[in-house]
Structure 1
Amino acid sequence: MNKYLKYSLFGVGGFVLLLAAIIAIIAATFNPNDYKTQIVQFVLEKKQRTLTIEGDIKLAFWPKLGADLGKVSLSEFKGDKEFAAINGAKVFLSILPLLKKELVIDTIRIDGVRANIVRYKDGSTNFDDLLSKEESQDVKFDIDGIIISNAAVNLTDEVGQRHFTLDKINLKTGHVAKGEPIDLDTQLHIVSASPRLDANLQLKGNLLADAENKRYLAKGLEVALNGAVDSLSKLDVKISGNVEARPEANEFLVEGFKLSAKGDLQGQQLDVSLDAPKLTAQKNQVSSQQVKLNFNRVQGDDTFSAKLAIADLQGSPQAFKSSGISGEIAGKQGARTLAGKFSSPFTGNLETRVFDLPKLVGNVDIKDPALPNGAAKASFNLNTHVDAKQEKVAVNLYAKVDGSNLKGDVALAGFKQSSVKFNLTADKLDLNKLLGTHKAQPKKAAAAKPANLSALKTVLAQGTINIGSLLYDKYQVSNLAAIIKADGNAFTVSPFSAKVDDSQIKGSLGIRNFDRPLYVFDLDIDRINADRYVSSNAGSKPADNKAADLSALKALNASGSLRIGSLKYGKTQSSNIRIDVKADGQKLEANPFSAHVDDSNINASLAVSRFDAPLYSFNVNIDKLDADRYLTKSEAKASGDTPLDLSAVKTLNATGEAKLGWLKLANVKTSNVHIGLKAAGGQVTASPFAADLYQGNMAGSLHVDARSTPVITFKQEMHGVAVGPLLVDAINNNMLDGKGTVKVDITTQGNSVNTLKKTLNGSAALNLADGAIKGVDIAGSIRNLKSKINILKPQSNVGADQRQRTEFSEMTASFKISNGIAHNDDLNMKAPLFRITGSGDIDIGRESVNYLAKPTVVKTLKGQGGAELDALNGLTLPLKITGTFSAPKYNLDLAGVSAALAKSQLLEKIGGEKGAAVQKLLGGDKAGALEGLLGGKKAPAPAGDAAQAAPQSAPASLEDQAKKKLNKLLGF
């Protein structure tokens, strides 16, 4: 800030000198108002600036020359923009000194100064021309005093890209002459946006800045600064004392110097004080009284304090020493306390500016219940050498931290642009002992803008770090080795190697472009066992409906490659993993992403953008994937009504496609799978949804609307598909075989699987050829109809027998699906012996069937037994199918078949009373039927003499006789 105050003083001073020159011209004229034009022209010719004088100029001639100006303004160099202006000024000159080219000025009074000071990018300023020296200006000046009131200055620094506003400036000086101290008393208010600054400054004292003789003086100095500076608020700084310095002669005098500074740093109350009663460095002597520096920080119940004392100095500028530098530190944070002490001898040489702390030793004690032993101890020993003239610092260090040994050396060259070289080694570090087991605090949301690492532009460093073993939490790091380099353009760690648990890591890390950091990496990891880093309850939290917050990725600017030899997670084994990452704050990409996962080779490109509402994009290629191996039994076969959780879909925004050479899912095997996905606004569309399967192919689409109650629409066409193997693999059902086309167009809605089944609506159709219905043999039943018919037995249900099958050459059917029930009334199945039509319902929600199939015998079966069935031509055999999907039942109504045969064909062969008897039998009058079949009456009782005849065989029962008669009639 001193630099900007200097610019302000120089700029305003140049303006004041110009005013003095103008007054000299005015004093030499009788009526200066008659010469305003000439005065303006004079300034324009000499300084290439436009001077504007408003109102009349008032003169005084005795005893002093003087002028009273009104409003005056001065333009920028060779421009019309205002550089400076005043509301009024009064200046008086002594007459006689002018004859000796001496300028003796009475008190200069200036009110309402306004000035715009600019430092350009090339380092020049907009007032350089006002300070230029001319040979004709060899004039001594002597000013009795300067009083400036209500001044304001705007400072613009194009080099540092900063802007300051100084206002409410009031300045008063005593006698001003070249090479003499000046009594100064000033107050001002200063404001800046970057860095944040809003403070009031008061400065008072007897000051001298003699740059020509390199002598600087401040006596009776009193400085007060109040306000806010950067992150510090409630700042209160006070400085007082006497300081005199002749740097080139190595002479310094400090008396009664005191500094105190208090402020609030983001809730931390800071207090710094410095007390230097007396410090003298003269030609042959160096001496001082004890210098004390104290620092205190308080935040709630947490405290930290540090004290530093430099004992008395004795000696000469060529060699002085102190009995020692000593210090103490103390702190408290929660249950943790900290206490330490340090001390060292101190020697120096002001001429060579070499200083040494040959043995800076100390110790630190930490007490904390969270530490394994409740406490930790550390000790250190440093040898520090400072060469201020050469701008070099060298430190050798050794430290012991709770059983860990650290050693190393640090060398620094250059104070303005420091270059650091270092080598640090530690045999072991147990951070659990040092940091304890405090529970991790919840992480605050990361800032959505890149970190400002511009400070690294000034860091020049190179060194090595080697740590034998490092333990933190449950992580064990060993053989850590790194070479670090910073050159102002990049910060790199290369090479880097370490073993973390069972994983060996090698590669490089770095940061470039510090204004907007670019993080770069190139890492190889031989193997990772992810199970040891994943908690047992990972993923147990229920999903919420909020989109993932990836806004922190706006701050990420990264590029790199990661290679992993093998990765184990649960039962999944991956190898040959490669991920190339690129992030620019707008998009995060992993391209390529490749890996061998179990038996699958994956090649993909993945990306996420629009981080506030993430948009995912992907392109995935997998040679083969057995998805069933990744589904647990509870996932693959849920019991009861399974809830449908589509919360992730509501916030999903994604687009991409996946191609799989071979896929097994739910035991269904497909190949050449191609799925395109688009998700936005709670809706997901999978299109195309295509694959080759079971000698055929499928193509269609899937749409899910999860904005409120989930609505699912599924359209699919299968061509040339062998449905038998498909049903066996999909639902373990072997009831149907054949090859052909299946079309499905359905919509459903609900929050559970059962609800989805019961709300199915749409249509389906199938067209199969050369297949079979398994579990029933209709053709066999027709062939064996003779032995099957028993008019005395009722109909019965027969369970499915998978060894039986009904073959067909063609089968077509369409279904109208409403509220989970699929209705069919156009079944058409062709077989060599029969044709089948039918109608009925399939209740998908209840997984049950109620269907009546009607096979009709046709004359198409040739060969053995074919001619014998001519009598059955046109006969319809009702086949009732009921039961559940897993246990269907088939009911072939053989009694009905017998009735049909008797009525439609066999009666033609029977006449008279026998025909009537059969009709009675079919009508239920068994007694009458038997009477008719036996001759129309009962057999007469045998005569008495006949009873004595030779014995005969017992007569057949009436039922047996009826059967024989019927068999004869039917030709059986």
Structure 2
Amino acid sequence: MSRALKSLGIVAAALIGLVVLLVTYILFFINPNDYKGEIAKVVKDKTDMDLVMADTLSWQLWPRISLHLGKTTLTDTQAGKTLVAINQADVSVQVMPLLAKKIAIDQVILDGANLDFVQYANGATSWDRMLAKLKSAPEEKSDKIDFNVSVLNISNSALHFSDEKSKLDGKLDKLLVQATNIDLKKAFPVRLKFVWSQTDAQGKTLVADNDLNATVQLDQDAEKYLLKGLTARSHLSGSLLPAPVVVDVESDITADLKQQQHQIDGLKLAVEYQDPKLTKPAHVDLSGAINADMKAQKVTVTGLKLAAAYPQAGLKSPATVKVSGDVQADLAAQTVSLPALAIDAAYPAANLSAPATFKLTAAIAADLKQQLVNLNNIQGSASYPETGRPAPITADLSGALAANLATGAVNFAPLDVKANISDKAFPKVMPVHLVAPITANWKEGKIALNGFTLDALSIQTKGQLSASLPGIAATAKPGTPATQGMTLSGNIATSPFNLRQLMQTLGMAAPVMADSSTLQRVSVSTQITGNENSILLKGLNARLDDSTLTGEAGLTDLKTGKIYARLNVDKINVDRYLPPVDPNAKPAPAAKTAEGLLPVELLKKQNLDVGLTVGSLTAMKYPVQKLQVTATAKDGVVNVSQLGGSVMGGRFSFPTTIDVRGAKPVLSVTPSVEQMQVENVVQQFTKKDLLAGIAAFNGTLKMSGNSVDEWLGSVNGASKLSFNNGLLKGVNMMQLVTTEMGKYQALLPFITGKDAATLVSKQNNTEIANFLGEASITNGVVQNKGLNADLKKAKVSGTGTFSLVTQQVDYSFNLLLDKSIVGEGLAGYAFPIRCKGKVTDVASLCSVDGKAVKDMATKALLNSKEVQKVKADLAAKEDAAKAELAKKQAEAEAAAKAKVEEEKKKAQEKVNQKLNEGLQKLFNR
């Protein structure tokens, strides 16, 4: 026994000695560098690439067999491209498994590896030749390799990527791969770090710094793979992004390839958006679990939750949105469903008393094979609590939506919205309820509201609307205008409503009007038509109390925004809608505004063509019939070609052009008045009963400025005024003359044959049979050169001026009275009258030239019948005396002559007495 043990010991010692001698021989007598050429040849045969090992190879045999590789390159010599460059590498295998003819890899250490990958413009890559060679070689498998690596360490390595077609240049840099105790049957830890950087054709950059940790289990026999405790972070920055982004991921991932079952548990995804404009980084967080049964081709996402916060500057707190729900997908049937999707959002704006909120729940089912999507049980609610509103604006939505992705058809059957709206203008809440079945086709660009009903504040609006917008259809060419080929059609109609009651419901005070029964019956109905050029309301019918508006209106040129209207009003009394007039109130002074009476900037922008006809209009108590207004405006020129109607028994027309293109507005007016009863007009504007009669006026006027004063001071033109059957109240021109003549009461019987009481009329007016005046107007001053009037039993002619600015008149008239008034003695005399002063001071405006009247009276007296009778009697007596004297001359020439002389003396004395009496009465006043 002892001998056997001794023999065994000798054999063992001999074997050990042999092994020692073998190892000593390999380490000291075999140089691995002698095999560089053979190794390079093998690589060339396998890859068609050239391997160059620049540094000395070294190895060791205990406690493990390892090979140290220095600087090494793998080059495509044909392309002149180095694909791989390694700084150094160490690979070792365990010694003991080698005795069992197995290879157990122990350590793999790689430092400074650099790979270069180029994708050329034609789609080929710099690695294509080597990959094609490897694929052509027979696959070599061995079950004698035991992949059990105690240490894997790859550091300072990089991959350079270049895409010559897209001009994208990228680099995977600072690569670090660390793993220990790698056993394909057990779990082992792995860490991966790298930085990816790229620059695109526009020079924009992207940098991603990545760090990943996980425990990996690779069961190749069961084909089951596990990543447990996976944590990954990626920090993204560069000019390609508006701000840096940080992404964190956590999960457990299981992949069972045999059972085709894949599971992601405990998924947590966090995204941080580091915009410096925000008060702090924005966040997006997602969690859930994913189960994929690829055998049954079903994928389920359970417990899905997404939460986002955006802390925008100016918000009281971050804006938030939350989404939750489960997702079920059947890949075989190509269906996806979200049976309980929920969305909850809040936006805390600075002008809100509390965050605005929006909530939505729905059940979503999608058939991708049939391309059908259905949203059922849609329930939504929103609240907008703006500061200053008496209550938040709220809305509740419900309905169901069906969409066909193949045809583009969408059907909302129906959309049901209930809202409560409040505003400062109406402190009470306004409820609104809309029910609208909606059909649309996004591929064709069509939408229709079929038979919608809108209830708001006891007003019900019904109608239907449809629009075709091929410019936004899926088949439209990019850049097509949205309105190209557009068509619109539909109609709307409201129920009759009481506007006063509506305002009361809203908590608003109804305007105070002269007639408190107004605004109680209001309704509107119209048809809507449109195309890419125009949108019109046709068949418009709007009722306001007793008035009806009909016609059409809209935009006839959408590009220029041209407004078009042709409207008709049957009748309207505007006075009913004006504030009540206080008869004792003093006229308020005209307000002066910096903008002036005309909205110049607004007129410059107008582009319109409008026409209005009013059958019967009452304004300021004037009954206007058949009022017509037609106006156009473009490029700062407003042309009112028609502005006229019938009023006060006559017609008026005021065509006007307003030009606002210059420094000041310029107005051109061509007024025309025919057969106008002026009594009420004059009384309305002067507040006095001054004038009555029938007037006609024509003129051509031009003025500039933007106030009444500027217009009156700058008006230039010509005018013609005629007047018939008139009465100038408060002024009796004939009385002015007869009153002046009344100063000579003793002479009136001699001059006129009438006494003062009969001659002087008690009427305080002037009757005007007809009047004609032509005038020129220069800078607001009216110059009358030929003014003629035919008064009742008198004629007037004269000239003068009237200032529109100061209202001052200065006229000189000649009044020729009829002989029925002043007798034949004064009938041929023209009495001079002067009217000077302010036109409103009627009583003291006109006066007679007293000195001229005195001279006329003296002349008339000397030519009066009484004086002529005295002279005739005197001549007759003188002739008789002469005859008597001749008869008795023979008898007593001397005596008769004496007697004749005596009689002549007496007669002369009587004539002198009569003349003295007359002159004393004339001059003794």
The TM-score bracket by the shorter chain reads 0.5 to 0.7
Deviates more, 1:311-320 or 1:491-500: 311-320
1:614-653: per-residue Cα shift (whole Å, max 9, x none)? 4333323333344566677999965377744341333333
Cα distance in 1 between the residues matched to 2:198 and 2:762: 97
Shift of 1:438: 11
Cα distance in 2 between the residues matched to 1:612 and 1:472: 35
> 2:769 matched to which residue of 1?
809
- Superposed, which structure 2 residues align to 1:549-948 within 5 Å? 559-565=489-495, 568=499, 571=511, 573=519, 575-582=522-529, 584=531, 586-608=533-555, 614-627=561-574, 638-639=589-590, 643-647=596-600, 648-665=602-619, 668-699=622-653, 701-706=655-660, 707-729=662-684, 731-732=686-687, 734-739=689-694, 741-779=696-734, 787=742, 789=744, 804-859=764-819, 861=820, 869-888=823-842, 889-893=844-848, 895-896=850-851, 898-908=853-863
**Which amino acid in the other structure matches residue 516 of structure 1?**
I
Contact 1:712 1:749 in 2 (8 A): yes
Q: What secondary structure, in the 3-state scheme, does the structure 1 residue paired with 2:824 have?
A: helix
1:183-223: per-residue Cα shift (whole Å, max 9, x none)? xx99454888xxxxx8557899xxxxxxxxxxxxxxx9999
Return the match for 1:282 from 254, 257, 263: 257
1:228-284: per-residue Cα shift (whole Å, max 9, x none)? 799x98485989999xxxxxxx99868699795847898465554556664212334
Return the match for 1:331 from 290, 309, 326: 309
Q: Does 1:432 align with 2:384?
A: yes
Cα distance in 1 between the residues matched to 2:626 and 2:290: 88
Cα distance in 1 between the residues matched to 2:280 and 2:404: 31
Where in structure 1 are there 5+ consecutive unaligned residues?
1-62, 65-105, 113-146, 154-165, 193-197, 205-219, 243-249, 379-400, 440-452, 519-550, 793-800, 916-932, 938-960
Contact 1:770 1:809 in 2 (8 A): yes
**Which amino acid in the other structure matches residue 815 of structure 1?**
A
Contact 2:341 2:364 in 1 (8 A): no
> Structure 2-normalised TM-score?
0.57
Cα distance in 2 between the residues matched to 1:681 and 1:843: 34
Contact 2:283 2:309 in 1 (8 A): yes
Where in structure 2 are there 5+ consecutive unaligned residues?
1-43, 46-74, 82-115, 141-158, 174-191, 215-221, 391-402, 475-480, 504-509, 512-517, 748-760, 872-908
Deviates more, 1:307-316 or 1:710-719: 307-316
Q: What secondary structure, in the 3-state scheme, does the structure 1 residue paired with 2:836 have?
A: strand
Shift of 1:846: 0.7
Shift of 1:856: 0.8
- Superposed, which structure 2 residues align to 1:50-89 within 5 Å? none
> 2:270 matched to which residue of 1?
294
Q: Which has the larger radius of gyration?
A: 2
Change (3 A) 1:170 1:566: farther
Change (3 A) 1:477 1:410: farther
Shift of 1:869: 1.5
Cα distance in 1 between the residues matched to 2:284 and 2:764: 96
Contact 1:169 1:188 in 2 (8 A): no
Cα distance in 2 between the residues matched to 1:963 and 1:741: 55
Cα distance in 2 between the residues matched to 1:738 and 1:857: 21
Shift of 1:728: 3.7
Shift of 1:581: 4.2
**Which amino acid in the other structure matches residue 837 of structure 2?**
G
Change (3 A) 1:607 1:875: same
Shift of 1:704: 2.2
1:458-505: per-residue Cα shift (whole Å, max 9, x none)? 575655555666567776445554545555554555554454455445
Shift of 1:843: 1.6
**Which amino acid in the other structure matches residue 412 of structure 1?**
A
1:148-181: per-residue Cα shift (whole Å, max 9, x none)? 977324xxxxxxxxxxxx7998856524648999
Q: What secondary structure, in the 3-state scheme, does the structure 1 residue paired with 2:670 have?
A: strand
Shift of 1:718: 2.7
Change (3 A) 1:760 1:709: same
Change (3 A) 1:594 1:199: farther
Change (3 A) 1:352 1:332: closer
**Which amino acid in the other structure matches residue 717 of structure 2?**
G
Cα distance in 1 between the residues matched to 2:414 and 2:810: 82
> 2:65 matched to which residue of 1?
none
Contact 2:283 2:310 in 1 (8 A): no
Q: What secondary structure, in the 3-state scheme, does the structure 2 residue paired with 1:827 have?
A: strand
State the number of aligned residues.
668
1:653-686: per-residue Cα shift (whole Å, max 9, x none)? 3334333323445655433333332333333222
Shift of 1:422: 0.9
**Which amino acid in the other structure matches residue 577 of structure 1?**
V
Q: Does 1:152 align with 2:114?
A: no
Return the match for 1:307 from 285, 292, 309: 285
**Which amino acid in the other structure matches residue 561 of structure 1?**
N
The alignment yields a C-alpha RMSD, in angstroms, of 6.2
Cα distance in 2 between the residues matched to 1:226 and 1:416: 41
Q: What secondary structure, in the 3-state scheme, does the structure 1 residue paired with 2:384 have?
A: helix
Contact 1:689 1:699 in 2 (8 A): yes
Contact 2:469 2:485 in 1 (8 A): no
Deviates more, 1:687-696 or 1:724-733: 724-733
Cα distance in 2 between the residues matched to 1:178 and 1:636: 108
Deviates more, 1:305-314 or 1:616-625: 305-314
Shift of 1:836: 1.0
Contact 2:461 2:494 in 1 (8 A): no
**Which amino acid in the other structure matches residue 850 of structure 1?**
D
Cα distance in 2 between the residues matched to 1:890 and 1:791: 29
Contact 1:149 1:171 in 2 (8 A): no
Q: What secondary structure, in the 3-state scheme, does the structure 2 residue paired with 1:748 have?
A: strand
Cα distance in 2 between the residues matched to 1:816 and 1:733: 27
Change (3 A) 1:563 1:635: farther
Cα distance in 2 between the residues matched to 1:820 and 1:770: 29
Q: What secondary structure, in the 3-state scheme, does the structure 2 residue paired with 1:906 have?
A: helix
Contact 1:222 1:241 in 2 (8 A): no
Change (3 A) 1:836 1:699: same
Contact 1:775 1:802 in 2 (8 A): no
Shift of 1:739: 3.0
Shift of 1:845: 0.8
Cα distance in 2 between the residues matched to 1:583 and 1:423: 35
Cα distance in 2 between the residues matched to 1:872 and 1:167: 128
Return the match for 1:417 from 367, 371, 378: 371
Cα distance in 1 between the residues matched to 2:656 and 2:301: 86
Contact 1:170 1:187 in 2 (8 A): no
Cα distance in 2 between the residues matched to 1:320 and 1:457: 27
**Which amino acid in the other structure matches residue 269 of structure 2?**
L
> 1:516 matched to which residue of 2?
472
Cα distance in 1 between the residues matched to 2:719 and 2:328: 98
Q: What secondary structure, in the 3-state scheme, does the structure 2 residue paired with 1:826 have?
A: strand
